[in-house]
Structure 1
Amino acid sequence: MAEFPCQPESTNRRLQSILDLLSSAGYADAHKPDITAPEKLAGGLAWCVAALNSPNSQIDVVVSSETLPHEDNKKEIEEALRSLKCPHSLEASQIRNLDCESIFPVVQWLLERVRDGKDENQRKVGVVSQLQQLRERISMEGAETKVQKFASLMQSLKDMEKKESEFLSYSGAKRYQLEAEVIYLKEKIAGGCDSKSLSDGLDRSLSESAEELNSARKELAATLRAILAVKRQLDDVPSQSELIQYERRLSDLYGHIQGKHQQTQKHYDTYNALLEIKELMLKETSLLNSISSQFQNAITSTAGRMKLIDSMEGIVKGSQQKLQKVRLGLEEQEKIRDALKERYTAAIAAQRQWYSLLKAFQEACAKNERLRSSTSV
């Protein structure tokens, strides 16, 4: 551990802890021997503030010995901390006088904010990448019509992202807490603390850390299971080729059903026609039997003959009406037949025209290919 002359031992240890934190976060000038301690602290604070004010909050700000803050810049650091709403107050005189007990919590808070911003940006980049991959997959599989089904999946993804953000925040805070505990233990070791109490404290810390690690592993396993479930749901969505195959199979099934329907309808029509013929034949037989039974009695008298003649005329009239009704039905069926024939003839003509156009198109394509091949040669 580097010592800083003319300072108490406790101040040196706290100053070294602050510089270790800054160095672990990426501040390059934390351990340069040619820079004074106040300049290192001011430079580290300025580095943290600049990292927070950068557009992406990335820890890539370079503060060299030529650009270290002067006295006026220390005032600016004080104002910047107030504008950032730092919960710990810090004045320029405290930086100049190496008030490490006041500077240490400020540095911890700034580094936590910087690293939280970096984690948040990385998470956003990951989410944007996942969304882009999801859009590409949707576009490739031709599943634009399935967007509504993906809404619930996207909501699940957002929930998992929220849980991930909370976990990152918790892990970041826990990390800084552990770093602070490590620094505290180093100070206790340097100060000659009781080894037994220190060992007991370390055992408790290890036990608590092991429990937290197991809990984090369980949460991670649950998150992975949820992600796998979402992926399986995405895989359940049929691809474009599968949709085409389903459509072809459904079309074949529809054609088969139509054929069966037409065949069944034909059987029904045949049955109805035969049933009607049967009824007519039964009526004819009944009529002939009635005439035969009444003829012998009616022929013996004039009144009977007249009654028989009237009855026969009524039968003839009813038969003519029935015949007229059948003829009207036949005419309607003939009209339907003629209309279907006209439609069939028009369809045949259109088919021939399409065949001729297709043939002309194929010939034009072949001619185009020949011209291309001759041009390329």
Structure 2
Amino acid sequence: MVTCSKQSVEEEKHVEEELKKVESSIAILNTDLEQLNERKSNCLNKMRHLQDKISREGADVVVQKLFTLSQSLKALERHASDLQSHCDSKASKLQADVNELENVMFCGKDGKNFSDCLDSSLHNSLERLNSAKRELAIKLREIVWLKRQLDDVPSQAELIQYEHRFSELDVQIQEKLRKTRKYYATFNALLEIKDLMLKETSLLNSISSQFQGAISSTAGRMKLIDSMEGILTGTQQKLEKVQLTLQAEQKICDAVKERYATAIAEQRSCYSILKDFQEECAKNERLRRLSS
């Protein structure tokens, strides 16, 4: 029984100290309000003095002062209203705490009821703290998720590096395609040469087999000459076609060379522009790090 009474006395002393702290904070807030009211009254007195001075003197310079003082008065009134609302909210909160402490004090005279009330208040405080911790954990998870999403987005340097790799891969693919087309063209040319050689061989074999029989008579010789002239005409026509094809291919080759020279010039200009762009990006990154 003695220990219980001692505990109740200590708890009452603790509650009284809390009440004194609350009263002191309320007194501080009241003094702040009194100071603001004094400043407001001083501003009003200055405005009255300025009005009297305006009535006595000219209104050019005084009106400007009055305008500045009215602006400062409005700012002080806004500050006073904000402070008043803050003081009211603080006072209401402190009054609620005081009422809660009074309820805790007067909920029961013995130490058991007082300790039960304190336990319930502590339990409620712990519940509010746990709920705040849960909300904070949810916010932290959202922040971590957003940071991961930001990390997944490539930076400017990574995008430039990807562009370099893709351009190098495109150059390798174009080189491989050019070599493959060259091999196919060589194969087709060799195949055509083979066909022409086979035709020429068959023609020479036919001439060699028919030469002895055709040279023995005049009609055979005339027929052989006509056939040789026909072969020569066909060969010349084919040669003309081949020359026309060669000229067309030469024109295409010249056009490709011109496009290649133009592309080389554009590539050089693009490299210079890319170098300037990379330097500007590096400067931007340094400035961003300095600003952050």
- TM-score where L is the length of structure 1: 0.41
Match of 2:101 among 185, 192, 202: 185
Partners of 1:25 and 1:224 in 2: CA distance: 39
Give the match for residue 111 of structure 1: 89
Give the match for residue 258 of structure 1: 174
Partners of 2:29 and 2:180 in 1: CA distance: 88
Partners of 1:264 and 1:186 in 2: CA distance: 95
Give the match for residue 186 of structure 2: 270
Q: Shift in Å at residue 56 of structure 1?
A: 11
Match of 2:203 among 287, 310, 325: 287
Give the match for residue 282 of structure 2: none
- Counterparts of 1:40-51 in structure 2, within 5 Å, are none
- Given that 2:29 and 2:87 are in contact with CA atoms closer than 8 Å, whether structure 1 keeps it comes out as no
Partners of 1:227 and 1:344 in 2: CA distance: 52
Q: Shift in Å at residue 203 of structure 1?
A: 2.5
- Counterparts of 1:2-13 in structure 2, within 5 Å, are none
Deviations 1:180-221 (A, max 9, x none): 366233245157545434433432333343234223223212
Is 1:335 equivalent to 2:242 in the alignment?
Answer: no
Q: Shift in Å at residue 324 of structure 1?
A: 1.1
Give the match for residue 28 of structure 1: 30
- Given that 2:107 and 2:117 are in contact with CA atoms closer than 8 Å, whether structure 1 keeps it comes out as no
Give the match for residue 200 of structure 1: 116
Bigger CA radius of gyration: 2
Partners of 1:108 and 1:343 in 2: CA distance: 76
- Counterparts of 1:335-374 in structure 2, within 5 Å, are 335-338=251-254
- Counterparts of 1:1-377 in structure 2, within 5 Å, are 20=22, 23=25, 27-29=29-31, 54=78, 58-59=82-83, 111=89, 176=93, 180=96, 183-190=99-106, 193=109, 195-295=111-211, 311-338=227-254
Q: Shift in Å at residue 311 of structure 1?
A: 4.5
Root mean square deviation, CA, Å: 5.0
Q: Shift in Å at residue 329 of structure 1?
A: 1.2
Q: Shift in Å at residue 328 of structure 1?
A: 0.3
Q: Shift in Å at residue 263 of structure 1?
A: 2.9
Partners of 2:135 and 2:224 in 1: CA distance: 105
For CA contacts below 8 A with separation 6 or more, give which structure has more relative contact order.
2
Partners of 1:209 and 1:284 in 2: CA distance: 108
Q: Shift in Å at residue 308 of structure 1?
A: 5.3
Q: 1:236 to 1:284 in 2, by over 3 A?
A: same
- TM-score where L is the length of structure 2: 0.50
- Given that 1:298 and 1:305 are in contact with CA atoms closer than 8 Å, whether structure 2 keeps it comes out as yes
Partners of 2:186 and 2:80 in 1: CA distance: 83
The one-letter code sitting in structure 1 at the alignment partner of 2:202 is S
Partners of 1:313 and 1:306 in 2: CA distance: 10
Partners of 1:220 and 1:261 in 2: CA distance: 59
The one-letter code sitting in structure 2 at the alignment partner of 1:271 is F
Q: Shift in Å at residue 227 of structure 1?
A: 0.9
The one-letter code sitting in structure 2 at the alignment partner of 1:54 is R
Partners of 2:196 and 2:88 in 1: CA distance: 105
The one-letter code sitting in structure 2 at the alignment partner of 1:219 is E
- Given that 1:25 and 1:111 are in contact with CA atoms closer than 8 Å, whether structure 2 keeps it comes out as no
Structure 2 residue ranges without an equivalent (≥5): 1-18, 35-73, 270-292
Sequence identity percentage: 56
Structure 1 residue ranges without an equivalent (≥5): 1-16, 33-49, 62-106, 116-175, 355-377
Partners of 2:219 and 2:196 in 1: CA distance: 30
Partners of 1:183 and 1:272 in 2: CA distance: 103
Q: Shift in Å at residue 295 of structure 1?
A: 4.8
Partners of 2:31 and 2:261 in 1: CA distance: 93
Partners of 2:252 and 2:115 in 1: CA distance: 103
- Number of aligned residues: 207
Partners of 2:191 and 2:95 in 1: CA distance: 99
Look up the SS of the partner of 2:245 in the other structure: helix
Deviations 1:252-275 (A, max 9, x none): 444344333333333232222212
